[in-house]
Amino acid sequence: MSKQKTDRREFLKAVGSGMFALSLLAATGSSAIAAQAAVAPDMSKGADNFYTSAQVTVEKVRFSNQYQMSVAGNLYMPKTFSRDSAHPAIIVGHPMGAVKEQSANLYATKMAEQGFVTLSIDLPFWGESEGEPRNLVAPDIYAEAFSAAVDFLGTQAFVDRARIGVIGICGSGSFVISAAKLDPRMRAIATVSMYDMGAANRHALQRSLTLEQRKAIIAEAAEQRYVEFTGGETQYTSGTVHQLDDNTHPIQREFYDFYRTPRGQFTPKGQSPLLTTHPTLTSNVKFMNFYPFNDIETISPRPMLFIAGENAHSREFSEDAYRLAGEPKALHIVPGAGHVDLYDRVQLIPWERLTAFFKQNLAAKQ
């Protein structure tokens, strides 16, 4: 085994040794979230989260899901498109704990440049979408948001409802798989830097969370429900740290560079930057009962594309999904890329691969 592979295995083992899956080092209480320190972002390899394009138009839209909650989105169209014709469309979901302005808008803009109508959405309880309390974890409602987005696009005269695809980034990768199992209107499914949010919370990376630790997390969340039911302070968990020190883990540094610096930092109007990426403690345990890869093979024969970075700590989830999925399927590993790199580093993101996948699988029927 090469030294690089050995180092990666040891790195993943170290990452998964704590109590929480996504942020094993983060504080659990809002009062414990530290003030952010000023750190210059790494803008290498074309990092451009807030990319805009003169080639596309963008407009804010809202539509209701089956729970009668308003879902917010940004609708992108190539300026050359006519609204009098029906075009293929792609829905884009943001990383878990983020908002559409973080990664999803970039992907939607770039894919609109390639000739698609695109729609980036905020998951319910996050960003500009409805849902109280804020930062609630509700996997079923997250998946429903993607089907509601299909409802919206499929009823627009300028969209061909038989040619709608979806891209899920990070945690949204598992949500779009969950949605696609029940919604055959999603004709082509791609994930990027996917997190299986169920497995990540049940087992942590490399299955390093013990059953005893899992039960302790569940028990803590259950007891906290009493506190909040009787008017106590809401507690938050996981997410990205707000300051760095000598002991900050490399994965936390990776997320910090995106979420806590001008590279990708974004706070929706009227919301607190201290809560960005932090779900509520009492609801986060719902992920432990979330199994998006169960029956993933039933999505076949609709095509699936799994994209992951060669050095991504999350690579195991894309590999697991690829192994379980039915044909046709493809696993694309991006050389030299980590997990967060594929959020916004435009020189690393395989745009040509994504474009070819959707052009082939959302082509007009002859």
Identify whether 365 is part of a domain.
no
Identify whether 253 is part of a domain.
yes
Question: What pLDDT, on a 0 to 100 scale, did the predictor assign at position 38?
Answer: 63
Identify whether 225 is part of a domain.
yes
- Find the domain containing 120 and state its range: 3-360
Identify whether 131 is part of a domain.
yes
Is residue 283 within 8 A of residue 165, CB to CB? The reply is: no
Mean pLDDT of the chain: 91
pLDDT cut 90: percent of the chain above it = 88
pLDDT at 29 over 50: no
Neighbours of 4 (CB within 10 A): 10
Confidence band (pLDDT; 50, 70, 90) for 366?
low
Question: What pLDDT, on a 0 to 100 scale, did the predictor assign at position 23?
Answer: 39
pLDDT at 33 over 90: no
pLDDT at 25 over 50: no
- Lowest-confidence pick of 2-16, 153-167, 183-197, 349-363: 2-16
Question: What pLDDT, on a 0 to 100 scale, did the predictor assign at position 365?
Answer: 80
- Lowest-confidence pick of 29-38, 108-117, 139-148: 29-38
Confidence band (pLDDT; 50, 70, 90) for 24?
very low
Identify whether 366 is part of a domain.
no
Confidence band (pLDDT; 50, 70, 90) for 4?
very low
Q: Give the domain CATH number at 313.
A: 3.40.50.1820
What is the radius of gyration, based on Cα positions, of the chain?
A: 19
User: Mean pLDDT throughout 199-221?
Assistant: 96
Identify whether 103 is part of a domain.
yes
Per-residue model confidence as pLDDT tens digits over 153-170 = 999 999 999 999 999 999
CA distance 77 to 272: 31
pLDDT at 65 over 70: yes
- Lowest-confidence pick of 19-33, 78-92, 206-220, 228-242: 19-33
Identify whether 238 is part of a domain.
yes
75: number of CA atoms within 13 Å, CB side? 16
Identify whether 333 is part of a domain.
yes
Q: Given the structure tokens 């905020």, which residue do they identify?
A: 122
Give the CA distances from residue 123 to residues 41, 81, 113, 168, 296, in Å, rounded to whole numbers and listed in that order.
26, 27, 24, 11, 22
User: Mean pLDDT throughout 234-244?
Assistant: 96
Question: What pLDDT, on a 0 to 100 scale, did the predictor assign at position 305?
Answer: 99
Neighbours of 320 (CB within 10 A): 16
CA-nearest of 139, 64, 132, 74 to 100 is 74
Per-residue model confidence as pLDDT tens digits over 259-299 = 999 999 999 999 999 999 999 999 999 999 999 999 999 99
Question: What pLDDT, on a 0 to 100 scale, did the predictor assign at position 257?
Answer: 98
- Per the structure, the count of domains in the chain is 1
